Structure 1
Amino acid sequence: MNALLDRSPGTVGAVRKKSRLKEISPVKVFSFILLLLATVLFIFPFYWIITGAFKVQTVATAIPPEWFPLKPTLQNWTDLFKNPVWRWTFNSFLIAFCEMIAVCMVSSLAGYVLAKKVFPGRKMIFTLFVAAMALPKQVILVPLFTMLADFGWVNTYWGLILPAIGWPFGVFLMKQFAQTIPGELMEAAKMDGCSEIRLFATIILPLLKPALGALAIFTFIASWNDYFSQLIMTRSTSMMTLPLGIATMQGEYTTNYGVMMAGAALASVPMIAIFLLFQKSFTQGITMGAVKG
């Protein structure tokens, strides 16, 4: 009889509830609170930009601040689109998209070769790629600008896209991920008469999809926010990118922060869209690529 009572639905539910309460430790509660605070901390600047885009100039710079626009206005967006914003957006998207495709293609090929092919100097080449990751872009900017000027590529799409194709981080990431591909799979494909090009296109490239998704996000965001290089390589207003064009709205003595925030909100939309598009493979590409070193 006692055994039957112990197995009643109420008793079983109480036991499960107690076990769940035991699993909620103070460490988990503290971790949850810490993550929640970090989330609010990272989201708040984006919230401030969005709300500031609908505030008038006097409210946007008021102290104490107005946390939510009580009298929202669209004047900031009207003033923003008085500039060639669509042209700047097109330039940013074209440059970032072309760099993303080119970097993924070149990095996947280079990473596969460095991970799976044996040839003299392979380790030295990979070491140079790793060392190049530590170099800031400003170090190579002067010789790069001189070379592009000799080619006549200053203030052109070629000069803005091609220097970013050989991104050392992309090669490093793809090489680390390609090392996780079983060599037996490649040997079996070659025994079946699969050529090298077909092996890479039909077997290796699909297996690299998670890493390619992560690399696509990194490349697009890095290119979209590459203010410094674009500032050096552009000369005309028609060749400006969106971040560069928004920066030119800042006056020498006064700045309309509402218009600036509207431009920043517009510039953040493509980055969010790219992340949401590739988010499924983002985490997998980062974690699996770190399995082997």
Structure 2
Amino acid sequence: MGLFNLHLGNRSLRYTRNTIIVILLLLFALATLFPIYFMIMSSFGDPVEAGAISYSILPTHFSFDSYKFFFDFSEYSYRWILNSLIVSTILMVSNVIFATVAGYAFSKIEFRGRNVLFAVLLAAMMIPYQVTQVPLYILIVNIFQVQNTYGALIMPTLVNVYNIFLAKQFMSTIPKEIIESAKVEGSSQFGIFVRLIMPLSKTVMAVMAILTFMESWNVFFWPFLVTNTMDMQTIQVGLKNFRFANTTYFAPMMAGATISALPMFILFFSLQRYFLEGVTVGAVKG
């Protein structure tokens, strides 16, 4: 009888603990999703009420006038979205290609100074982003002279050190015996990389694609720094045009923010399976 009561007590304790964990996770999820919910609900407000903010959780009325106002407000509204798509897509592709190649070189190819060079790259990750803005700006404006162009928006982040690190760590788990077998069969380094490494690395490539696109799409400061005309602004920079000295077109700004979030949602949910596999790779060793 005592063992039975002890068993029931343990079950009750586990049930209580699991219930508390579920409640905490639900609260965390609600806190994470609430800004997105508030952004979407606010985008259905009246665009004429400049500077007015409705703090009601449930919307009083639905109207798509703010979305129409967003596109009618400036002739460059469509151009802002197009610029962001061009820049983010190019950076996503370039980062996946270059980071995958670099990760393969650092993990599977023996060359002099490999460890030193990789250590330098890791050290570069520790430099705050803000510290590099002034040297990059001087390089883009005074040396390359490509200010207010797609080149200025793309060149500084053609490849991200973190993506190189991610690819290198992932490819280090690929057995060398597979590569040696391919070499015995006469495959070149390029053939091994294209036919063997890339198919095996599709998970980490999907993770790099999602993270790079999200980072490139959301960045504000660098596009704001190197663009000086509205036709070259990205969507994040373009949204600031809805704010003036004495008022803010809040609902149209939220409509633009909702539109700007759609590509990220589409990309994430389309590659969600690969992303979840990528972030958990290496957590369990077989």
What is the TM-score normalised by the length of structure 2? 0.90
1:241 maps to which residue?
234
Indicate the residue corresponding to 2:83 in structure 1: 91
What is the DSSP-based 3-state SS (H/G/I as helix, E as strand, rest coil) of the residue aligned with 2:271?
Answer: helix
Q: Distance in 1 between matches of 2:281 and 2:168?
A: 12
Runs of 4+ residues over 6 Å off in structure 1: none
> 1:45 pairs with 21, 26, 35, which one?
35
- Shift of residue 142 of structure 1? 1.5
Deviation at 1:46, TM superposition (A): 0.6
1:68 lines up with 2:61 in the alignment: no
Residues 143-164 of structure 1: CA distance to partner in whole angstroms, max 9, x if unpaired?
Answer: 2112212212111111111210
Q: CA deviation at 1:287?
A: 2.2
Letter in 2 for 1:72: F
Do the aligned partners of 1:186 and 1:199 also contact (CA within 8 Å) in 2?
Answer: yes
Partner of 1:4: none
**Structure 2: distance between partners of 1:106 and 1:80:** 37
Secondary structure of the residue aligned to 2:242 is coil
Contact 1:49 1:261 in 2 (8 A): yes
Mark the runs of 5 or more structure 2 residues left unpaired by the alignment.
1-7
Q: Is the 8 A contact 1:91 1:242 kept in 2?
A: yes
Matched, 1:171 2:164: yes
Count of aligned residue pairs for this structure pair: 271
Q: Is the Cα–Cα contact under 8 Å of residues 220 and 271 in structure 1 kept in the other structure? A: yes
Per-residue CA distance 1:89-141 (angstroms, 9 max, x = gap): 00000100000000000000001111111222111111111111121222111
Matches within 5 A, 1:6-155: 25-56=15-46, 57=49, 60-62=52-54, 65-82=55-72, 83=74, 84-149=76-141, 150-155=143-148
Checking the alignment, whether the CA contact within 8 Å between 2:91 and 2:158 is kept in structure 1 is yes
Determine if the alignment matches structure 1 residue 183 to structure 2 residue 165.
no
In 2, the alpha carbon distance for the partners of 1:232 and 1:98 equals 20
5+ residue gaps, structure 1, are 1-17
Query: Is it true that 1:261 corresponds to 2:240 in the alignment?
Result: no
What is the alpha-carbon distance in structure 1 between the residues aligned to residue 99 and residue 284 of structure 2?
19
Question: Which moves more between the two structures, 124-133 or 94-103?
Answer: 124-133
Q: Distance in 1 between matches of 2:161 and 2:140?
A: 20
Within 1, Cα distance between the matches of 2:41 and 2:121?
43
Residue 289 of structure 1: how far off its partner (Å): 5.5
Between structure 1 and structure 2, the one with the greater Rg is: 1
Which whole-Å CA distance do the structure 1 matches of 2:147 and 2:21 have between them?
50
Corresponding residue number in structure 1 for 2:274: 281
- SS of the equivalent of 2:174 reads coil
Paired position in structure 2 for 1:7: none
State the shift of 1:210 in Å.
Answer: 0.5
1:27 Cα deviation after fit = 2.1
What is the rounded CA distance, in whole Å, between the counterparts of 1:233 and 1:91 in structure 2? Answer: 14
Deviations 1:203-247 (A, max 9, x none): 001111100111111100000011011111111110000010011
Aligned partner letter, 1:162: M
Q: Distance in 2 between matches of 1:100 and 1:205?
A: 16
How far did 1:59 drift?
9.7
* 208, 213, 216: which one aligns with 2:206: 213
CA distance in 2, matches of 1:86, 1:145: 27
**What letter matches 1:55 in structure 2?**
G
Query: 1:58: how far off?
Result: 7.5
Q: Which residue of 1 aligns with 2:185?
A: 192
TM-score when normalising by structure 1: 0.87
Q: 1:230 to 1:58 in 2, by over 3 A?
A: closer
CA contact (8 A) 2:153 2:223 kept: yes
